[in-house]
Structure 1
Amino acid sequence: MTTQAMMLAFLADVRLPVGTHTQSAGLEPALQAGMPVDAVTEYVVTRLATVIEVEAATAVVARFTELARGELDPVERAWAARTPSRALRDNSRQLGRGQARLVDVLWPSAGGERCGRYSRAVLIGIAAARSGLGSFETASLIGYDDLQSVTSALLKLEPTDPVQVAAVTRDLLPEVDAMAERVAGLTRPDDIPAHAAPQLELWAEQHSHATERLFHA
């Protein structure tokens, strides 16, 4: 296994202290709204083609910008403009704080600057640049993390056979690859795609006001 492959596995590890254990990738509000369990595969495919493609593209552009020692604020603004749900933006920036601490400790800036308060996608792009991940691997990391968040949450939200859930993860890996291929070559904030996912955004907004929930988002 190459160092880059091992680094990808390391950053995709759910045991990293970045707060992903609090996430269901929107699955909890989707199920609460009546989405059937047998629609989980379609749900993941929809996320990969919309909100996650935007996040993966943002991470890829942030990685390129960090390597070029450019300004990351335009990348953050481009991501925010393509993420109309305030709940999704707030949650991503909360996760970004955990990611920033990881980056500052494990891959500190040569100049001593600490990571700013960016979204999770931008911080993952910074981590990718400093740890040596390629652009395709960066996008794959975003997609795989989301897939794992959904399937891990499913085991806690519904009485489901873990082996069948593992099969869902395996079967959707080509979808992650396809998404990563679409965005791996992007370099500018304006390149980040804008995909609408109004139903997912509505569920996220409703969940942010829920008083009984297992996951933060």
Structure 2
Amino acid sequence: MLADGRLPTGGHTQSAGLEPAVRAGLGADGKQLADVGEYARDRLRTVTRIEAAVAVLARHHVPRTLEAGPDLEAITNGPTEVAQAVAGEEAAVVMARRFAQLESAWAARTPSRALRTASRRQGRAYLRLAERVWPETLRYLPRDGEIARPIVIGVIGAVTGLSAEQVARLVAYDDAQTVVAASLKLLPVDPAGAVTWLAALHDDIERLVNDVAPLTDIEKIPAGGAPLIDQFAEQHAIERMRLFHA
């Protein structure tokens, strides 16, 4: 369900940065359409890898025994934090602090304000959907909060029983298919060619999954940047005529 392009989370309003890239010349005049596949591959190596890692970490921070509610030992990593919590800090507060730290780590690796805003807007849409379909999500995240999309996806993944590999693959596939789907609206693309680009990204997606799925430490989140994608996003945010929000 989470990988379905019809999911009402605002994904149809996003092009994963392809629209501003096209404005900047990608696939100009239909002569370099293969650049779309390379653009999606570059995202998988940089910004998408960061988001997938953050989603995996968010999943990791949700207690494994969901039926029992937030478990103090499951959301703390050391005796010092456990002692602090036992001394009076509620488990929910510990978890909220962990998610705040994770969002700060994500924001530090996402320098574009436009990209951060778009991600939080999508996160809010995912959270609204989760409230209806997977209400247990609200045990770990505030209702209608503007939280980075990968964090919301990670928590939903934990609540629905997805593995770390499945969460990472979901983020990677969703990003790649967003680029490919947007190309059909922005460029003179043969739909069969678009499907071929997506299929060709399979190995890149699986490499991303293998790299980020084992992560349990915030400090290990990758920090590969894509300055042109950031620049395109900032320019796109002030465009008066645009098809996609970002």
Instruction: State the partner residue of 1:66.
Output: 62
Superimposed CA distance per residue, residues 10-38 of structure 1 (whole angstroms, 9 cap, x where no aligned partner): 11001111110001110000010012232
Select which of 44, 49, 52 maps to 2:48: 52
Gaps of 5+ in 1: 1-9
Contact 2:114-2:237 at 8 Å conserved across structures: yes
Instruction: State the partner residue of 2:87.
Output: none
Spell out the pairing of 1:19-58 with structure 2 (5 A cutoff). 19-36=10-27, 37-58=33-54
The residue type paired with residue 58 of structure 2 is A
1:133 counterpart = 2:162: yes
The residue type paired with residue 192 of structure 1 is I
> Which has the larger displacement, 55-64 or 29-38?
29-38
Identity of aligned residues (%): 46
Question: Structure 1 111/86 Cα, relative in aligned 2: closer, same or farther at 3 Å?
Answer: closer
Contact 1:88-1:201 at 8 Å conserved across structures: yes
| Distance (whole Å) between structure 1 residues aligned to residue 124 and residue 13 of structure 2 | 14
Instruction: State the partner residue of 1:162.
Output: 191
> Which has the larger displacement, 91-100 or 36-45?
36-45
1:214 counterpart = 2:243: yes
Select which of 84, 91, 94 maps to 2:111: 84
Gaps of 5+ in 2: 28-32, 64-73, 76-94
Question: Structure 1 112/176 Cα, relative in aligned 2: closer, same or farther at 3 Å?
Answer: closer
The residue type paired with residue 161 of structure 1 is D
Contact 1:18-1:98 at 8 Å conserved across structures: yes
The residue type paired with residue 208 of structure 2 is M
Contact 2:137-2:155 at 8 Å conserved across structures: no
Instruction: State the partner residue of 1:101.
Output: 128
How many residues are matched?
Answer: 208
Spell out the pairing of 1:175-190 with structure 2 (5 A cutoff). 175-190=204-219
Which structure is larger by alpha-carbon Rg, 1 or 2?
2
Question: Structure 1 199/80 Cα, relative in aligned 2: closer, same or farther at 3 Å?
Answer: same
The structural deviation recorded for 1:82 is 0.7
Superimposed CA distance per residue, residues 56-96 of structure 1 (whole angstroms, 9 cap, x where no aligned partner): 00000000012344331111111011100000000000001
| Distance (whole Å) between structure 1 residues aligned to residue 195 and residue 138 of structure 2 | 43
The residue type paired with residue 22 of structure 1 is T
